[in-house]
Amino acid sequence: EVQLVESGGGLVQPGGSLRLSCAASGFTFSSYEMNWVRQAPGKGLEWVSYISSSGSTIYYADSVKGRFTISRDNAKNSLYLQMNSLRAEDTAVYYCARVDDAVVVAAFDYWGQGTLVTVSS
């Protein structure tokens, strides 16, 4: 069974940093592209960042470019999001989501349960 479990969320002051993790199981993690998608309270979904299966290709939404860093450790079946210079508008539930381009092209077929990040003083 595919499982994605996020952790690392919490309350942080504006300008602070936080590192999110996503532990993957039930599939060959190193073969899949991964993403972070966020959802502000009561709002819609927003794509945040993408990383290829090898980690060699990375993309960011303009809203987080230069502040967030996505990475992965295929040996540990883990995805990460380092968030620096946090702003109030970064407050959201952050989901990790898998892309399986071999089957469901350019769509997020599995999602974690999310971890809440709150940026407030």
Partner 1 sequence: QSALTQPASVSGSPGQSITISCTGTSSDVGSYNLVSWYQQHPGKAPKLMIYEVSKRPSGVSNRFSGSKSGNTASLTISGLQAEDEADYYCCSYAGSSTNWVFGGGTKLTVL
**Which residues are 95's β-sheet partners?**
37
**Chosen residue from 59, 73, 76, 89 binding partner 1 by CB under 8 A:** 59
CB 5 within 8 A of CB 23: yes
Three-class secondary structure of residue 26 per DSSP: coil
47 sits near partner 1 (criterion: CB under 8 A): yes
Place of tokens 């927003």: 46
Q: What is the C-alpha separation between 68 and 85, in angstroms, rounded?
A: 8
Q: Which structure tokens are listed for 69?
A: 């860093």
Burial class (CB in 10 A: 0-12, 13-18, 19+), 81: buried
Pairing of strands 45-51, 33-39: antiparallel
Size of the site for partner 1 (CB under 8 A): 21
* Minimum CB–partner distance for residue 88 and partner 1 (Å): 20
44 sits near partner 1 (criterion: CB under 8 A): yes
112 sits near partner 1 (criterion: CB under 8 A): yes
Q: Using CB under 8 A, which of the segments 14-22, 23-31, 42-50, 80-88 binds partner 1?
A: 42-50
23 sits near partner 1 (criterion: CB under 8 A): no
105 sits near partner 1 (criterion: CB under 8 A): yes
106 sits near partner 1 (criterion: CB under 8 A): yes
Return residues touching partner 1 (CB under 8 A).
35, 37, 44-47, 50, 59, 61-62, 95, 104-109, 111-114
